[in-house]
Amino acid sequence: MLSLILLSQAWRAFRLDEYRPSVPSELFDRKGRLITTFFQDQRILVKEQDIPLELKQAFIAMEDNHFYEHFGLSPQGILRAFLINLQAGQVKQGGSTITQQLAKVVLTDQKRTFTRKAKEAALALIIDALYKKDRILYLYCNQIYFGHGTYGVEAATQFYFDSTVKKITVAQAAILATLPSSPNRYSPLKNPRLSHVRMQHALMKMVDLGFITIVQAQKADEEARMYYSTLNIAPSETAFGRRVDHAPYFSEYVRPILEKEFGKDALYNEGLKIHSGLDLDHQDAAQSALWRGLRAQNNISRNYFFSKQLELSKQYAPLLTLAQFAMNLPTLDPEKRYSQYEMHMEFFDDFIDPLELVNLGFGGNEVLDNFLVSVRVDNPFANRYLAVQGALVEIDNATGEVTAVVGGLPFNTRNQINRALQMQRQPGSSFKPLLYAAALETKKVTAATQFPDSPIVSIDEQGDLWMPENYSAGFRGFITLRDALRFSVNTVSVVLAREVGLGNVIPTLAKELYVTPNQIPYNLSIALGTYEVSPLGMARAFSHFARGGESIEPVLLTKVFDRNKKLLKDFTPKQKREQIISAGSATIVRSLLETAVNKGTGRSVRSAGYGGYAAGKTGTTNSYRDAWFVGFNKRYTSAVWVGYDRPSISLGPGQTAASVAAPIWAHFQNKVSSTIQHEDAYLKGGGVTKVLYCTTTNQPAQESCAEPYTELFLEGTGPETGNKMDLRENQELMPQTPIAPTKPTVHTKDFYEGEDE
């Protein structure tokens, strides 16, 4: 019977050769740089030759003085522990050697029972017979728990000292050596005084064993005193809490994807090597540019919000009086000259609840309802005022790799919505290039076709009116499609959709957005960007203009390997190169977008200091609720969105995309320009004919033309064949003529505004 038990324990000991400790999985960017790690227990394996002698000696001094002399068990330690436990009537002290501790944490359960101690002792004897002492100590150093979620000497050194085990000092080694026996009690974070006393004990034992001199111990103690006096890590901190994550919005988005594909156990314990399309240079630039822009915009929009609240407070003074009387509240005179902030604070703290009740009971109006809803929104700024949020996402036109993802203000426990990938909002006028491309595909219009910029009235079956307006509140008469996009003229977009036919453009729009046609409302308002799209969806759609109309599949993850470098999965899609729009249409729209940046509503990109190649479009929705800029350089397409999480809240009067989103995009381009200057450009086109046009006449240029420019046409649609649609001859579309919808529309009262010129 005894021989069977010994054989069983020997077999368990042999498992040390197959032992696979839990190792965090690592997420890398496309250049092989670490983004973050995924783990439950933080363990970083260190090579045997990289464990310093001082650290080994510290463990021997504190845990097993006769480690190199005994055969796996310490008779003196066992006798001492036996007497203490016998007196206590339970297991109070272990007396375990380093070999026994290794057997306990690796090969047995860790319940404090006499049966487990017997198994542990038998395993220790066998392990000592099978393995060299240095091998046992190496396994111990990589396995033992050091508190605060750290396992192994490397993870512990990084957590406690922000260093690596290769550079460990005698003082640091002594501190670590005190932790295995009771990580919680001797934690330098939780009990610095007790930890220091215990560390001094470790130094004295190292001196007694001849590992260090008294002088070395004194220097180590001085170093330790400095460490404890400057220690500023919270006692509740853990390895997971201090985990470095250079792209939290991205890593938290791919985490569930990886969990589903490989399982939680593999992701958190098997040391997967996960490669992605992210580029940390672009990611850092995106975070810097967006957060800088959002901080500035918060200052502007917060003042507008306070002003609006003060105005409403005064407007509803009678209702406040009623609330005071009904609820026995302290007197608040809205007519007093409160500062905006003081008025906001007092109003928010004392009056918002009763005012909402009174408004509900006595029939307040819609304006007040919207106001009450807006001030109820949770906000990151100490729950006192709202925060403007934003998103920035970038995609590589050549590979489809998503190289930057920022989903909002800095990621934290209260701000985790990935607005770049998971949120959909109305893109406003930034949607117009997609409509223009779809219209060009019909070959019924060209970039030089002239359209009437005039009032439009649409009447639905219930008799309600819809009147799209231009930002400038004026009209230009007949203008070309190029100038219509340049100045972001809303009326022309509606006329374009109306005359080309929604039924002719929606299928192409659906292809551009990778949705089905029935998902896009058969409604003229889509011409002004009322269909909701994510920032990644807009970037993907605009990439067609850089790719010559070819489709693209966004690439978040590329390849995943196991800890032995074996390929587990290749996520990289095979780009099918489907032609979403013709190369000619893509080339023409790209030209229109270049004009929009250089001479139109997007020229704030230039005034913000970006001088490189750019093609893009601004987009501002009704009442300045959303601000967009979507555009591309010679290699990458990126989208910027700015707004509040609650769509009903305005950024403030005059806060157009040109002043809000475009500068963020420009600052981002300035930051990444140095990193992409040596990369190959990726702008594809073709399928067009070029004709010299005259700026003043919007007709083919004559020799007398003072301002000629090159206009692009799809083959077969140039001036030599005649414009396919001459709207000057269509008297039904002359100014002041209402346009009825071609099909019953979804009613909207919103007037979607274009950009400030």
Active site residues: 63, 429
Bridge partners (DSSP) listed for residue 216: none
SS3 state of residue 14? helix
Query: What number of CA atoms fall less than 13 Å from residue 282's CA on the CB side?
Result: 25
Q: According to the 3-state scheme, what is the secondary structure of 101-154?
A: HHHHHHHCCCCCCHHHHHHHHHHHHHHHHHCCHHHHHHHHHHHCEEECCEECHH
Report d(CA 436, CA 593) in Å as an integer: 11
Bridge partners (DSSP) listed for residue 699: 694
DSSP 8-state code for residue 494: H
SS3 state of residue 491? helix
Report d(CA 109, CA 101) in Å as an integer: 12
Rg of the chain over Cα atoms, rounded to whole angstroms, equals 35
Report d(CA 205, CA 193) in Å as an integer: 19
Answer yes or no: are the C-beta atoms of 484 and 492 closer than 8 Å: yes
DSSP string, 728-747: GG-GGGSTT-----SS----
Residue found by looking up tokens 């209702």 in the block = 319
- Strands ordered across the beta sheet of 273-276: 34-38, 25-28, 273-276, 557-561, 567-570
Bin 556: left if φ > 0, else alpha if -120 < ψ < 50, else beta.
Answer: alpha
In a 10 Å sphere around its CB, with 0-12 CB exposed, 13-18 middle and 19+ buried, how is residue 712 labelled?
buried
Helix axes 2-14 and 114-130, enclosed angle (nearest 10) = 60
Strands 688-694 and 708-714: antiparallel
**Cβ-Cβ contacts under 8 Å for 195 (sequence gap 6 or more):** 175, 178, 186, 187, 188, 228
The neighbour count for residue 683, using CB atoms within 10 Å, is 18
**Cβ-Cβ contacts under 8 Å for 21 (sequence gap 6 or more):** 43, 45, 142, 143, 151, 152
Q: Closest Cα to residue 590, out of 681, 672, 506, 686?
A: 686
Bridge partners (DSSP) listed for residue 147: 150
> Hey, what are 66's tokens?
């006769």
Answer yes or no: are the C-beta atoms of 136 and 16 closer than 8 Å: no
- The vertex-406 CA angle with 403 and 411, nearest 5°, equals 135
The neighbour count for residue 166, using CB atoms within 10 Å, is 13
Report d(CA 101, CA 14) in Å as an integer: 16
Query: What number of CA atoms fall less than 13 Å from residue 366's CA on the CB side?
Result: 1
Element (H, E) at 275: strand 273-276
> Hey, what are 206's tokens?
């190292």
